[in-house]
Structure 1
Amino acid sequence: MSQPITALVIMGVAGCGKSSVSQALCHLNGATPIEGDAFHPAANIDKMSAGIPLTDEDRAGWLDSLCDELRRAVANGQRPVLTCSALKLRYRERLRSAVDGLGFVFLELTPEVAAARVADRPGHFMPKTLIDSQFAALESPTNESLVLTLNAGEMNVKQLASAARDWWCEQTVMATS
């Protein structure tokens, strides 16, 4: 018997729909949303706003904060859904070390679609100019365990959230069977 998914990370590059899908998923199954962007220190937001890609060092404290928040939510009996780009395997491994049974929903899309979506987001700190750096850093999670890959360029938010919910429920049933 495998372990059920206790928490999810909705991941992908800027513009893939992480926040929208997380909100819709939490509405569908009563999960607790954790907006990863809310945990960025001001220095990270300033860098991104200026069009400067974050380094691994910039992300280290942010990832630690996300790990702490995941642990807190699970310890409180919640089913958290974290939005986090989680672009690199080492970032995902760091998050996996925080809680057992962490699943990932990878919202995959093309650079062109990501750039168009980011350009249409008024008031967000992530500029369109950073899209290329996001794709350059992306290490696809498709061969990792407990990962669902969805085409965010072809499915709408409701379809993505429903697919994520169905997969989460299916994984939980399989683990307890």
Structure 2
Amino acid sequence: MSDLRTAPAIVVMGVAGCGKTAVGEALAKALGADFIEGDRLHPPENVARMARGEPLTDALREGWLDAVGERIATSIADGRKAVAACSALKRAYRDRLIRFCPGIVFLYLKIDRETAWRRVASRKGHFMPASLVDSQFATLEEPAADERAVTVDGTRTVAEIVRETIE
């Protein structure tokens, strides 16, 4: 966990419904870091696709990942830490983000399919339908041992996850 405290940037990652935004916002506040909400950086075409229940392809994610990476790099260049909420489901996506900031550490919020589906189905006003949860798990490549990543139980409370991360 010490990597997380000293990292210039943390990407809170995982499937839809794992708690990326809630944990990311709380972690950024606790660390005095900029918070970057990856969902807000999707181009309108991507949002429309997901709202229709269509999973994004790797090619459709490229520009979005670059937008997240650019926002992280801007915070770092301005002398601030960054915490970003970004699914970063595949290693290739994480590697793409690292090109913008080699010091990124990933905080993987691991949850099961049933929990993800229940959380996504109960969200109000979000473009991601529960029907895409299975595609998220199909795309997911959990961080490997050689990646700068920490895995935590995403079913724990936000406060517990943040406390463990900063301690």
Shorter-chain TM-score: which interval? over 0.9
Structure 2 residue aligned with 1:57: 59
Structure 2 residue aligned with 1:121: 123
- Decide which moves more: 89-98 or 136-145: 136-145
Structure 1 residue aligned with 2:159: 158
Partner AA of 1:149 in structure 2: T
TM-score (norm 2): 0.94
Give the aligned CA root-mean-square deviation in angstroms. 1.2
Higher Cα Rg: structure 1 or 2? 1
Identify the match of residue 145 of structure 2 among 132, 143, 146: 143
In structure 2, distance between residues paired with 1:88 and 1:145? 12
Percent of residue pairs bearing the same amino acid type: 43
Please tell me whether the aligned partners of residues 142 and 149 of structure 1 are also in contact (alpha carbons under 8 angstroms).
no
Query: Could you say what secondary structure the match of 1:99 adopts?
Result: coil
What is the Cα deviation at residue 162 of structure 1?
1.5
Please tell me whether the aligned partners of residues 6 and 100 of structure 1 are also in contact (alpha carbons under 8 angstroms).
no
What is the Cα deviation at residue 11 of structure 1?
0.2
Gaps of 5+ in 1: 167-177
What is the Cα deviation at residue 51 of structure 1?
0.2
In structure 1, distance between residues paired with 2:100 and 2:116? 29
Partner AA of 2:77 in structure 1: A
Deviations 1:25-77 (A, max 9, x none): 12212111000011000000000000000001110111111111111110001
- Decide which moves more: 62-71 or 121-130: 62-71
Identify the match of residue 81 of structure 1 among 78, 83, 103: 83
Query: Could you say what secondary structure the match of 1:20 adopts?
Result: helix
In structure 2, distance between residues paired with 1:103 and 1:132? 26
Structure 2 residue aligned with 1:23: 25
Moved beyond 2 Å, runs of 4+: none
In structure 2, distance between residues paired with 1:106 and 1:144? 14
- 1:84-95 alignment, distance < 5 Å: 84-95=86-97
In structure 2, distance between residues paired with 1:70 and 1:29? 15
Gaps of 5+ in 2: none
- Decide which moves more: 63-72 or 11-20: 63-72
What is the Cα deviation at residue 5 of structure 1?
1.5
What is the Cα deviation at residue 145 of structure 1?
2.9
Please tell me whether the aligned partners of residues 104 and 148 of structure 1 are also in contact (alpha carbons under 8 angstroms).
yes
- Decide which moves more: 84-93 or 142-151: 142-151
